[in-house]
Structure 1
Amino acid sequence: MPTPVTPTVRIIGRPHLDRDELNRYLTEVGAQGWASQRTHFNDAQDVVEVAGRTCYRSWAPRLNPNVTRVRNDSDEYLGNIVAHRHGSVMEHAQYTFILQDVSRVFTHEWVRHRQGVAISQESLRYVRLVDLPFWFPEWAQNDAELVRRGHDVLTALEEFQEWMADHFQLDAPGVSFHEKKAKTSFMRRFAPEGLATVLVWSANIRTIRHVIETRTDEGAEEEVRLVANQIGELMAIETPALFDDYVITDGGAWTTQHRKV
């Protein structure tokens, strides 16, 4: 019997600032006041702000003779970066996600976003299938006949996977890993594209914004929209100053007047 699953997103990596080294740098350039006046810390937002202020030496008035006035509030400063589409400084802040129980239908589309990302996917050349976990969207779950027939197909494919493993004697003593790999690679050809898998996905904030904007659009594929929305919700908590310009439509699309930052 196939295992029902739901695509899930987890953050497993986020930016970390070495504040001792940063403070040494700020002291050297006469900007130690920037650090001392801060009341809260957010490493992802702070690294973006550090990158932005470094570009103009805008830590305080007159450090750059051309700058007579600066924004002291970090949220206001970052909001101005978003509004003026200075997206390059967002590329310094990268997050790593586990996308669990996403289908290979999903991954075929998701890996089209390559700029500013790193991708590692569970390999079915090496990982032998036993069961075939599968996601049925809510509308499909409400169709009893569809679910029954789908389960029948998946159960037959699971049984065929088990039969092939036994037929090839993959668990017999002395079978080399090379042979197991070759047979496992063949066996995966009988797995459906809807099979649930795992993707490790790293992206910088500029790329994450772009992906959320394009992949929550009402014309995007259903599972892709589900995952993109989860990433958006997590990032709105992680870095609110860099995502609070979004409005979510009734259809679930994340929209902003600052597209393509």
Structure 2
Amino acid sequence: MTRHVEPEVFLVARPELDFDELGRYLEDVGGLSWLERLDRDQLTPQDLAEFAGRLCYRSFEPGLNPNVTRIRQDQDAYLRNILASAHGSVLEHLSFSFVLHNVSRVLTHELVRHRPGVAISQESLRYVRLSDIPFWFPEWAREDAELMKRATEMLDRMEEFQIWAADHFGLDEPGVEFAVKKHRTSFMRRFAPEGVATGLVWTANVRTLRNVIEARTAPGAEEEIRLVFGRVGELMREECPALFGDYTVTDGAWAPGWRKV
């Protein structure tokens, strides 16, 4: 019986700063007053973005760089200026890792087009044997009774084949080597649709995230990837409001106030 699933997004890793090491560096260059504005117990990824930007101009406080006579004290204002001036390299230091769960291979095939600033580890169906075909149906499809009847019939047949093939190859019999299981499982995965639900760890830096959120929530983007990256956008706005607060969301499309950062 076809199992309907919903795509989910889990934010599983974010940047972590070392307050003491920052202090060692800043003591050497004379910027400890900047560090004193931070709470060592509540450091955020945005602190890293600000630190990297200020290092570029040695603008931790006035006077460290003779060319800098005044500095922005407010972090939000500082980071908004980073975005407005398209100083995007600063944002590449901030990487976040997501688990994209119950997403289709339709989505993952599109997502691999975004390569700069990205790391991917995807569930391998060469090793992971399918016992069913978990599948996401958009709401409009679920409302079409005849479509659902025909679609689920096809998926049920594919599920039956996976179970039959495993038995036919004797994959669960004692003593079957893993190399044999892998070889047969790789063959069996060819009979699963691109829409089968899978999972991956997807890591991207903030510069890339800004681009992908805009591109993959645009009105012309594929509907599943729009759903997933709308959620990614929500998570990032919670994590880094100063770096993602310039977006306006209209009918699910995320448009940044500053492009080509």
TM over 0.5: yes
Match of 1:176 in 2: 177
Alpha-carbon distance in 2 for matches of 1:27, 1:257: 36
1:119–1:200: 8 Å Cα contact kept in structure 2? Answer: yes
Alignment gaps of 5+ in structure 1: none
Q: Give me the whole-angstrom Cα distance separating, in 2, the residues matched to 1:25 and 1:73.
A: 22
Q: Hey, what's the Cα distance between the residues in 2 that align with 1:236 and 1:93?
A: 14
Q: Write the mapping of 1:1-261 to structure 2, written as runs, cut at 5 A.
A: 1-38=1-38, 41-249=42-250, 251-261=251-261
3-state secondary structure, aligned to 1:135: coil
**Structure 1 letter corresponding to 2:129:** R
Cα shift at 1:39: 5.8
Mean alpha-carbon deviation: is it higher for 37-46 or for 15-24? 37-46
Taking the aligned partners of 2:65 and 2:104, their CA distance within structure 1 comes to 52
Q: Which amino acid aligns with 1:239?
A: C
Write the letter of the residue equivalent to 2:7: P
Separation in 2, partners of 1:230, 1:42: 24
- Kindly indicate whether the alpha-carbon contact (under 8 Å) linking 1:42 and 1:239 is maintained by their aligned counterparts in 2: no
Amino acid at match of 2:150: R
Specify the SS of the correspondent of 2:11.
strand
Shift of residue 150 of structure 1? Answer: 1.4
Letter of the structure 2 residue corresponding to residue 12 of structure 1: V
1:13-58 CA-partner distances (Å, limit 9, x unpaired): 0000011111121122111111112369442101111100000000
Please state how far the C-alpha of 1:93 moved relative to its aligned partner.
0.5
1:74 maps to a residue whose letter is Q
- SS of the aligned residue for 1:28 comes to helix
C-alpha distance in 2 between matches for 1:243 and 1:130: 40
1:109-136: per-residue Cα shift (whole Å, max 9, x none)? 0111010000011000011000110000
CA RMSD of aligned residues (A): 1.1
CA distance in 2, matches of 1:215, 1:105: 13
Counterpart amino acid of 2:178?
F
Using the alignment, how far apart are the partners of 2:241 and 2:43 within structure 1?
Answer: 10
* TM-score in terms of structure 1 length: 0.97
**Contact map agreement 2:17 2:43 (CA 8 A) in 1:** no
2:73, 2:161 → 1: CA distance?
Answer: 64
What is the aligned-residue identity percentage? 62
Aligned structure 1 segments of 4 or more residues deviating by more than 2 angstroms: 37-43
Q: Distance in 1 between matches of 2:97 and 2:79?
A: 22
Aligned letter for 1:208?
A: L
**Using the alignment, how far apart are the partners of 2:225 and 2:112 within structure 1?**
11
**Partner amino acid, structure 2, of 1:207:** T
Distance in 1, matches of 2:169 and 2:243, equals 53
* TM-score (norm. length: structure 2): 0.97
2:5–2:136 Cα contact (<8 Å) kept: yes
CA pair 90-175 structure 1, distance change in 2 beyond 3 A:
same
Residues in 1 aligned to 2:28 and 2:39: alpha-carbon distance in whole angstroms: 22
> Distance in 1 between the 2:235 and 2:43 partners?
14
Give deviations 1:179-231, integer Å, cap 9, x for gaps: 11110000001001100000110000000000001111101011111111110
